Amino acid sequence: MPILEVKNLSMHFGELAALEDINLAVEKGEILGLIGPNGAGKTTFFNCITGFLNATRGDIFYKEQNITRFGPHRVCKLGICRTFQIVQSFNEMTALENVMMGAFCRHHLTGDAREKAEEILKFTGLQDKKNQLAGGLTLADQKRIELARTIATEPDVVLLDEVMAGLNPTETEEAIGLIQKVHEKGLTIIVVEHVMEVIMKISHRIAVFDSGELIVDGPPEEVVQDERVIKAYLGEEYHAES
Amino acid sequence: MQSAKQFTSIFGGVLVLFLVAPLIIRDTQFQHLMIMLLLFTTLSQAWNLIGGFAGQVSLGHAMFFGIGAYAAMAPLNQWGLTPWIGMAIGGLVAMVAAVIVGYPVFRLKGHYFVISTFAVAEVVRELFSNWDWVDGPIGLDAPLVEQGWRNFMFYHTKLPYHYTLLIFFAVVMFVAFRMERSRMGYYFRAIKQRPEAAQAMGVNITLFKQYAFIISAFFTAICGSMYGLYVLHIEPSTVLSLDISIKIVLIAVLGGIGSLWGPLLGATILISLQEYSRIWLGGTGRGIDLIVLGALIVIICVYEPNGIVGLIKRFSRKKRKA
Ligand SMILES: Nc1ncnc2c1ncn2[C@@H]1O[C@H](COP(=O)(O)OP(=O)(O)OP(=O)(O)O)[C@@H](O)[C@H]1O
Ligand SMILES: [Mg+2]
């Protein structure tokens, strides 16, 4: 049984079909890469799963439970947590407090939540910055805090929306390492990323969206050679290079 | 966030000050000022829970204040019911009112909450103005009853009002202090800063806004009861007025929105200004306090949006660096 399964999912904004009849399943412990050109519907896909948008049609199953109409907080409580493409730090809170916000999901006492958050900060290499306000940190650090507080909710599935966009090569390397560490903890990960090298490196499987449709779904080596993918996403240039 | 130690010492100091002040200074004008100060600090702190910490600005808190005032005064007036029971009823009714106002709008984004609190408060005032049982626009006078704690009426001394309010002030301050460092306090701040990120962290933001509003409404109603019993006359155009709603907000804004000591600082300035301009300038001074206040608010908004608390923080940071 897949841990997360989406059946015939469509999301329409008026005339625009941001998602059209998507069928996709994710196995427990898998890292699924999700790629596609700008406006392909990747973020919309995350928004539907996490309850920020109500799908026009279709169903979403998590551990065999239909969660299609669940609100965001319920989805999080069940064990699916996401990051935001445009960072959404709690700017007026410290790094520690940001991560505590995630920890409060399972630990209702402040002391317990703080303990859990300290542990996650260590795990993500943020302990030096724990008393700094999140709003004053670099983009790389803020993205890392978002990942940290996401893990702090103790999810089974995490949805990462371009956690490496805007990072320099060293920071990207660190972020990749961190995602792999998170995966080793047994989490299932769906990761949206534009940089092909990154996606190729970390994904077990890749799904390609184009104009709201799932056009290809398979192992990384196959996906990069697929005609439709090359045409839709990678462009002639990448084709010529490889 | 202030450390617990720091809070406790300031809190202790403030309590001692309020404990001894009316015993040393027997001037009734001054005692009246202290009572108003305690009342409006507590009111503003109650507002601060929803408006400051959770960031949901209410411009209709007069409805809870008025409900509390009427709940204590009307049954006392009509049936001789002890106002303590009236107070409890007022608190409960205010909580129900908070649910009725909050339920339809807390699930929406944007400014619906501000608008609806404002509108509902106006409606509530109209209702009371047209309600014969509470003498409509004329309002209610406290009946001449035996003085004492049962009726919460004291004709020759202000001290019982002062100390009752002091206890209530202490309770509300303590609740705010505890709340700030509990899960609920973190959730309120998160809802104010990034509602969507809060949702992603598993926060039912609709529910937590509702909690903040209910608690706030309850405390505000109790303040209303105390006020009615103290001034002995209430009417819709005073206890249910937009004036009251605005004053509560202004105190918090002036002192520092969403901070524990903001209400006390704001009230100290605003209430002293108001009371002393009334005493010194009499009728001719009408409105001068408002002009000064308006100027202060403009300065605060331009120079330090976090109010006096923000100024103090900025100043102490500079000093530490120097
Ligand atoms: N709330 C919304 N209302 C209306 N249209 C929307 C909304 N959200 C997304 N869209 C539209 O849906 C389409 C898919 O957007 P989405 O953000 O999912 O793309 P994406 O694959 O994440 O792109 P990017 O790589 O740029 O992040 C776009 O055309 C976008 O304009
Ligand atoms: Mg996107």
Residue that is last in its domain, among A134, A154, A174 = A154
**What's the pLDDT tens digit per position in A203-218?**
999 999 999 999 999 9
Check B201 against A104: CB less than 8 A apart.
yes
Q: Is B218 exposed, middle or buried (0-12, 13-18, 19+ CB in 10 A)?
A: buried
Pick from A9, A10, A12, A16 the residue to mutate for probing ligand 1's pocket: most ligand atoms within 8 Å of its CB: A16
* Nearest CB partner across the interface for A97, out of B182, B186, B204: B186
* Nearest CB partner across the interface for B202, out of A89, A109, A153: A153
Q: What is the pLDDT of residue A239?
A: 47
**Long-range contacts for B277-281 (Cβ within 8 Å, ≥24 apart)?**
B279/B29
- C-alpha angle A32/A90/A181, rounded to 5°? 35
Domain ranges within chain B, ordered by starting residue: 4-241
CATH code of the domain covering residue A168: 3.40.50.300
Q: What is the pLDDT of residue B321?
A: 67
Helix, strand, coil abundance in chain B, percent, nearest 5: 80, 0, 20
> Is residue B277 pLDDT above 60, yes or no?
yes
Whether residues A189 and A124 share a domain: the answer is: no
Quote the longest CA-to-CA distance of chain A: 57
Instruction: Give the pair of three-digit tokens for residue A209.
Output: 């969206």
Residue of chain B whose alpha carbon sits nearest to that of A51: B200
Q: Measure in Å the smallest separation between the Cα of B125 and chain A Cα atoms.
A: 37
Whether residues A199 and A224 share a domain: the answer is: yes
**Would you state the torsion angle of the CA atoms of residues B69, B70, B73, B74, taken in this order, to the nearest 10 degrees?**
180
- Ligand 1 atom 26 nearest Cα: A38
> Is residue A231 pLDDT above 90, yes or no?
no
Question: Whole domain around residue A107: which residue ranges?
Answer: 86-154
The whole-angstrom distance between residue B4's C-alpha and the CA centroid of its chain comes to 24
Whether residues A71 and A164 share a domain: the answer is: yes
Whether residues A149 and A163 share a domain: the answer is: no
Q: What is the pLDDT of residue B81?
A: 92
* Nearest CB partner across the interface for A153, out of B189, B196, B201: B201
Q: What is the pLDDT of residue A241?
A: 47
**What's the pLDDT tens digit per position in A51-91?**
999 999 999 999 999 999 999 999 999 999 999 999 999 99
Q: What is the pLDDT of residue A225?
A: 85
- Euclidean distance between CA atoms B16 and A241, whole angstroms: 79
**What's the pLDDT tens digit per position in B118-140?**
999 999 999 999 999 999 899 99
Average pLDDT over residues A91-99: 97
Q: What is the pLDDT of residue B106?
A: 92
Whether residues A148 and A162 share a domain: the answer is: no
Chain B residues in contact with A88 by the CB 8 A cut-off are 194, 196-197, 200
Whether residues A161 and A73 share a domain: the answer is: yes
> Is residue A235 pLDDT above 70, yes or no?
no
Whether residues A164 and A58 share a domain: the answer is: yes
The closest alpha carbon to B245, from B107, B76, B69, B40, belongs to: B40
- Answer yes or no: is the C-beta of A38 below 6 A from any ligand 1 atom: yes
For chain A, the straight-line distance linking the first and the last C-alpha, in angstroms and rounded, comes to 36
Q: Average pLDDT of chain B?
A: 91
Whether residues A169 and A72 share a domain: the answer is: yes
Q: How confident is the model at residue B286 (pLDDT cuts 50, 70, 90)?
A: low
Residue that is last in its domain, among A154, A181, A203 = A154
User: In chain A, how many domains are there?
Assistant: 2
Residue that is last in its domain, among A106, A124, A154 = A154
Write down the residue that tokens 């109603």 correspond to.
B221
Whether residues A97 and A144 share a domain: the answer is: yes
DSSP states of A77-116: HHTEEE--SS----TTSBHHHHHHHHHTTT--SHHHHHHH
Its pTM stands at: 0.92
Q: Which of A99-103, B100-104, B254-258, B288-292 has the lowest mean pLDDT?
A: B288-292
Whether residues A109 and A178 share a domain: the answer is: no
Whether residues A172 and A137 share a domain: the answer is: no
Whether residues A171 and A63 share a domain: the answer is: yes
Q: What is the pLDDT of residue B285?
A: 58
